[in-house]
Structure 1
């Protein structure tokens, strides 16, 4: 579907891509991983044609369409929410508008008028097109995606300009999903989602008919969706035939093999160098010495990326607090007429490890700010216990950093007396290495400022940590370091986060905020997710029973109908798989011939060249026919899916 050939890119002396290549197939599910700064976002933008490359080619099949969700910076049209998202079906809306206009004009004409039959023919054609696009289902499709992403029916007429940046990202994601491009390019799509909408997106993408290329620091999300992994490091792109966990294991095996090969190569190099040094000035060995010098110059030296430093970062032992760390009683918080928290009561004991979850806008961050003493409230009480020393992190704290300070001076000032040496270690944990520690705050990116603000908190000796989305600007390795440190932290922890993999080993209770109230789930995050799935299933059964009463369709009839439809889909799915396998083989064959064409002598081979070119043209024609067959099978599957009830 898409092929990257010998892509190279440098930013000054820094090599981003060094002659990398890859193929993305029609149904691929690919996770794109690598440390911050290795070029993940740049690669997505290069695929879109928005980032120039120094050399190489990006080729795609004619039918391919791309859809891109950036990490931030999306804009809206300030239309009502439903209308804005419906713009994803612009071609269908355009036909519908032309049809309405034509029907109005037709009403003003008589059958004997010259334009009457011309309009009638146009109307018939447009009606057929709308039927083919299933225009009657547009409203339900738009609403289903918006509700899945956490919007309410009451939001449908709300101007999109009124939504916060996080909700605007969801609006952009909804439009993208409904456009159904051949390849979805998603750059950290989970950053602005809560656990409920993240689970919905995960399930939606599992059944997505196109290809996916995902950048994410959420290991569970990558493991659930991806069947291939592209890893960027040192300008290379290495492909792995599995999800993130497979990549994690396999990359270690590959590295061990490379280390052995590098050690063996180094021994040979040193042996050659000793020979050269020993006989450099002996006339009888001059030819051999020169031969070995030339051989040494031609050696393609095996290079390894610097290993992740074994950073044993851990919190300093905090002072012991009293048994009761926090008491919240009758807490009420409103923003104007909007009730956020209504009569909340709960407490935390020393050593509690609590995740705060809920849909966006439920009040999770508001509660964290109130507990940290950074947000006023209308009534109730919030009391910290004896000898409780809290530390609070939220994304906005990056704005409080002094622009003129360096990263190193910021953390040195935050370090307890006698612990300044730890500052560099902790900075290294969160990707400030070498001269980066001397960068002034004013030149740091938004993500770097957030990581620096988080580092300040981790250097404190607080015995009560309040963390609001601490992983949003961390790569997977930095997140792992933070997770390991928090797992060994002996104080009390309250964390607002949506990253399931991050929360899983850290928390023993889950506090869910919804509809101005709270609900406790005792156990880790897996327990919470399982309980929510049980509740959702129970709710679906109740809805099913109501549907049976209202439309007279029993569960048995529904199952029988769906089995019949799925059986009808089987031959088309098989056809799809056959086409994809043959497409892959033909694309490989075409690529092989094109590689030969780069040889200057290729076109000097007479009959052999003619035969190769004839086969090349024939293969290309076969490939085009296969793509047509693939599209027909895909259309049939999509059509049958709509008949499922």
Structure 2
């Protein structure tokens, strides 16, 4: 049964986001919506939810269809409410008065600890705010669930809970979920819609299989286009020869054949379609400046403590060698960020138990992108920090996906994807030989994640990184350090940690 059908859908907001989009959502569908940053995923979800009208085309919904839309951002008017009241306020007034028990049931289904029920939304972590937004939608018992980047701010245990929840509690509810988390999409979807400016494609496959099918489809179209182009060129060359012969011999028949050959070439070119080339949201390029040192960072036996002096975990003697891409694993609250800060301190100054080789040049980025001042402009960041002129800065920023109009506006006005690409440009211009990266894929689309992976691998970059993105960790890491039972130890791979974390039903 078809619940929603989109026909010839198109949206233009200053520029076309997408056109000629045709797809349907049926019972049993768990669809992954995939596109580059700024390509219209959130806009499409808003249209499907009835929040805005498309520029062209039609959306047909089944009679009485109740659509629940879990947006990315928390509305400001909810921040001063308690989590419980924020969910309760999603119900109609009369229902909220007599059926508040529905909130208790939903919060229990979503494993929200009782001690959080009456905490103000603004006091909650980003992960629990995401859970609150889902609870507000789910309490209304939607027939169709739309979700925009639901794993943002969630740790692995909460991502695992959400995966399980979608496969059990919400199993019979069709969903359309926009996400850049490749492992999550593989776990929860059975269809994939690749949203493009034109030639959007849908496959009855989860993300990884669908991506392979899309790449093959694009490659086949490219081969066909090249063959058609060669055939048309050959016909035109033959037509040119016949034309000369016909003119010299005065043969009307040859002139007619010349015209027919040209018409065949025209028809082939008109029917031929080049493979789709998606416009990049901005390039990500890194460097790895030279150092002859084999050991860049040395960790002596010691302890990592919280700001209040509490011992978080103990460190054995360890080394970060040139070419190591070490992923730091551990549940939330175990002290990963504290260790990252200690390594940063060792490189920029001194630390009693962590030593840095003098030749280390660090490129550092944290998950909040705190190295970028929201009040500064992208142009100021590049021209004031680095020895580049205005024209070079314009070109560098444009290459990173920040157009001329945005280059002179405050960084705070940039999208998350643009900020991330600006941060990567800032890292490259520092010419580092050691990267310290805390959740570097936050806000990056899949294209950006893959570009970052490729750059780290291609330059044999040395780095210590923290990430909840399983695909990124698997594709990037060469060594793995795990914080467990208040000790730091090296493990062969991240899979046991992933399995244990995804099986938990707690922290957010």
Hey, what's the Cα distance between the residues in 1 that align with 2:439 and 2:96? 44
Query: What is the aligned partner in structure 2 of residue 155 from structure 1?
Result: 116
Residue-pair matches, total: 476
Which residue pairs with 1:397 in the alignment? Answer: 371
Q: Which residue of 1 aligns with 2:495?
A: 526
For residue 165 of structure 2, what is the aligned residue in structure 1? Answer: 204
Q: Which residue of 2 aligns with 1:2?
A: 4
Match of 2:454 in 1: 484
Q: CA deviation at 1:250?
A: 1.0
Greater CA drift, 386-395 or 204-213: 386-395
Does the aligned pair in 1 maintain the 2:6–2:60 contact within 8 Å? yes
CA 1:401–1:83 in 2, change beyond 3 Å: closer, same or farther?
closer
Partner of 1:55: 56
| CA-CA distance at 1:242 after TM superposition | 0.5
CA distance in 2 between partners of 1:139 and 1:530 (Å) = 29
Q: Tell me the secondary structure at the aligned position of residue 436 of structure 2.
A: strand
- 1:325 equivalenced with 2:298 (yes/no): yes
Give how far 1:31 is off: 1.0
Q: 1:11/1:78 Cα in 2 relative to 1: closer, same or farther (>3 Å)?
A: closer
Q: Is the 8 A contact 1:521 1:528 kept in 2?
A: no
- Alignment partners' CA distance in 2, 1:453 and 1:314: 11
1:312 positional shift: 11
2:28 paired residue number? 27
Q: CA deviation at 1:154?
A: 2.6
Deviation of residue 8 (structure 1)?
2.4
Residue 78 of structure 1: CA displacement? 2.5
Structure 2 residue runs without a partner (length 5+): none
Residues 318 and 491 in structure 1, CA contact (< 8 A), matched pair in contact too:
no
Secondary structure of 1:482's counterpart equals: helix
Query: Matches of 1:236 and 1:79 in 2, distance apart?
Result: 44
**Which range moved further: 388-397 or 458-467?**
458-467
Mapping of 1:459-470 within 5 angstroms?
459-470=429-440
1:369 deviates by: 3.7
Structure 1 residue 385 corresponds to structure 2 residue 359: no
Residue 439 of structure 2 contacts residue 468 of structure 2 at CA under 8 Å; is this kept in 1?
Answer: yes
Mapped to 2, the partners of 1:183 and 1:162 lie a distance apart of 30
Residue pairs, 1:497-512, within 5 angstroms:
497-507=467-477, 508-512=479-483
- Normalising by structure 1, we get a TM-score of 0.63
- Are the aligned partners of 1:372 and 1:391 in contact in 2 as well (CA < 8 Å)? no
Distance across 2 between alignment mates of 1:68 and 1:498: 25
Give the aligned partner of residue 304 of structure 1.
Answer: 275
Higher helix share: 1
* Higher RCO (CA 8 Å, separation ≥ 6 residues): 2
1:316 is paired with a residue whose SS is: coil
Write the mapping of 1:32-181 to structure 2, written as runs, cut at 5 A.
32-75=33-76, 76=78, 78-88=80-90, 90=91, 94-95=94-95, 97-98=97-98, 139-147=104-112, 152-165=113-126, 167-181=128-142
Taking structure 1 as reference, are residues 446 and 242 closer, same or farther at Cα in structure 2, changes over 3 Å only? Answer: closer
Work out the CA distance in 2 between the residues paired with 1:362 and 1:343.
Answer: 6
Instruction: Tell me which residue corresponds to 1:315.
Output: 287
- SS for the counterpart of 1:190 is coil
Q: Do the aligned residues in 2 keep the contact of 1:329 with 1:381 (CA within 8 Å)? A: no
Separation in 2, partners of 1:431, 1:305: 19
Q: 1:407 to 1:479 in 2, by over 3 A?
A: farther
Structure-2 change in CA distance of 1:136 and 1:40 (3 Å): closer
Q: Deviations over 1:112-142 (max 9, x none)?
A: xxxxxxxxxxxxxxxxxx7xxxx86753541
Separation of aligned partners in 2, 1:448 and 1:344: 36
Query: C-alpha displacement at 1:279, in angstroms?
Result: 4.8
* Deviation string, structure 1 residues 24-77 (Cα, Å, up to 9, x no partner): 112201111122233222221221233332221100102322222233353425
Question: How much has 1:211 moved relative to structure 2?
Answer: 1.0
Q: CA deviation at 1:172?
A: 1.2
CA drift of 1:302 comes to 0.7
1:195 aligns with 2:156: yes
CA distance in 1, matches of 2:424, 2:487: 27
Task: Indicate how the Cα distance of structure 1 residues 450 and 73 shifts in structure 2: closer, same or farther if over 3 A, else same.
Answer: farther
Mapped partners of 2:259, 2:225: distance in 1: 23
Q: Residues 463 and 349 from structure 1, CA distance in 2 versus in 1: closer, same or farther, beyond 3 angstroms?
A: farther
Question: Is the 1:355–1:494 contact (alpha carbons within 8 Å) kept by the matching residues of 2?
Answer: yes
After superposition, give the CA deviation of every residue in 1:85-112 in whole Å (9 maximum; x if it has no partner): 3445x35x845745xxxxxxxxxxxxxx
The whole-number CA distance in structure 2 between the counterparts of 1:221 and 1:204 is: 12
Is the 1:330–1:381 Cα contact (8 Å) retained in structure 2?
no
- In the alignment, structure 1 segments of 5+ residues that lack a partner are 99-129, 375-379, 540-645
Q: For residues 420-459 of structure 1, what are the structure 2 equivalents within 5 Å? A: 431=401, 439-440=407-408, 442=410, 444-459=414-429
Give the Cα separation in 1 of the matches to 2:55 and 2:190. 30
Q: Distance in 1 between matches of 2:440 and 2:162?
A: 22
| Partner-residue secondary structure (3-state), 1:169 | helix
Return closer, same or farther for 1:222/1:467 CA change in 2, 3 Å cut-off: same
TM-score by length of 2: 0.78
Number of the residue aligned with 1:603: none
Give matches, 1:9-20, under 5 Å.
9-12=11-14, 14-20=15-21
Partner Cα distance (1:506, 1:46) in 2:
37
Deviation at 1:249, TM superposition (A): 1.4
Q: Secondary structure at the match of 1:43?
A: helix
